[in-house]
Structure 1
């Protein structure tokens, strides 16, 4: 696999993190941005390696559930983002603390990384440098997570709480598209 292929693969795989981080940024998670970026990057680096080493055998079993799991996570965060707009400030802060806890972020990152596991499975059959693959995916994951968090935060500051509703709708839309695909004309 050539470097350009790895770059494109890294961009495509890490794009889930961009939309999810946008929602997290809109929720007002500024004090947790470093933790979010680090955990998402660590998981995005590790999961393709796990997939490469497990091999293609399990990919057909997990393949059925990866798209659904990733879609449910995006839709769930979208619904939560909209719902949290109407929560009281104290309730919202408590929920954000749960989501941005180390455990919460690892669970979210693992759910979003199911596609990385499948990529690892499928590429494990060919000749690809596992470390190089994982580094490209982790790099783009880190960049997209950072961009999403900062963009969500900026838009929330600029537009107020309505951006949370908008971010929630986008996440739900992306979750549906992730599961069903884009309509073809």
Structure 2
């Protein structure tokens, strides 16, 4: 009887852990898909493989940092700042997208938005990762292993960023000079959606 009880308890623990891990994985994929779609826009502008690695690494890092910041800020403060953070992220995307469209219309007269610069890289990575901040509020409710959770968020964010940048790069090569304008339009639309 005692042995059967222990086996049943062990099975329940495994089932609970599997359910928790599946939930975390689904949230990580959802956050990563957001990064994927925004990275397609940046990739359309034309991007070197070295920049693909740098941008993806920055997004992966912020997909780890932002949930931790949300977790440590606490639920009340995060709920108040969550809306502000989304507004800031949306505003950044609108500015970046608008600048890319403006630059493509000026036929190269204006300097292009540069994700290769530290400011450009950080601005883009933060705007892409801002959703992770509010997710951090509820980490304590579903995360049995905090380190594994945030590392999974970072890995998915980085991986899907690479895929998005490479897809955008390929599409940008196919559509030529309109790639930057189209990529800017993608960022602009997502920025507006964040703001409403």
Q: TM-score, normalized by length of structure 2? A: 0.78
Larger Rg: 2
Q: CA RMSD in A?
A: 2.2
CA distance in 2, matches of 1:121, 1:17: 20
Residue in 2 aligned with 1:23? 41
In the TM superposition, residue 41 of structure 1 has moved relative to its aligned partner by 0.9
Cα distance, 1:46–1:20 mapped onto 2, change above 3 Å: same
Residue in 2 aligned with 1:132? 148
Residue in 1 aligned with 2:16? none
In the TM superposition, residue 145 of structure 1 has moved relative to its aligned partner by 0.9
- Kept in 1, the 8 Å contact 2:43–2:168? The answer is yes
Q: Deviations over 1:7-53 (max 9, x none)?
A: 11112222232122112212222141111111111111122122223
Residue in 1 aligned with 2:4? none
CA distance in 2, matches of 1:74, 1:8: 25
CA distance in 1, matches of 2:109, 2:46: 13
- Kept in 1, the 8 Å contact 2:24–2:142? The answer is no
Q: Deviations over 1:133-162 (max 9, x none)?
A: 212211111112111111111111111122
Residue in 1 aligned with 2:77? 58
Q: TM-score, normalized by length of structure 1? A: 0.82
Where does the alignment leave 5 or more consecutive residues of structure 2 unmatched? 1-18
CA distance in 2, matches of 1:102, 1:125: 35
- Kept in 1, the 8 Å contact 2:93–2:124? The answer is no
CA distance in 2, matches of 1:47, 1:172: 22
CA distance in 1, matches of 2:58, 2:46: 18
Give the 3-state SS of the residue equivalent to 2:46 in structure 1.
Answer: coil
Work out whether 1:164 is the aligned partner of 2:183.
no
Give the 3-state SS of the residue equivalent to 1:2 in structure 2.
Answer: helix
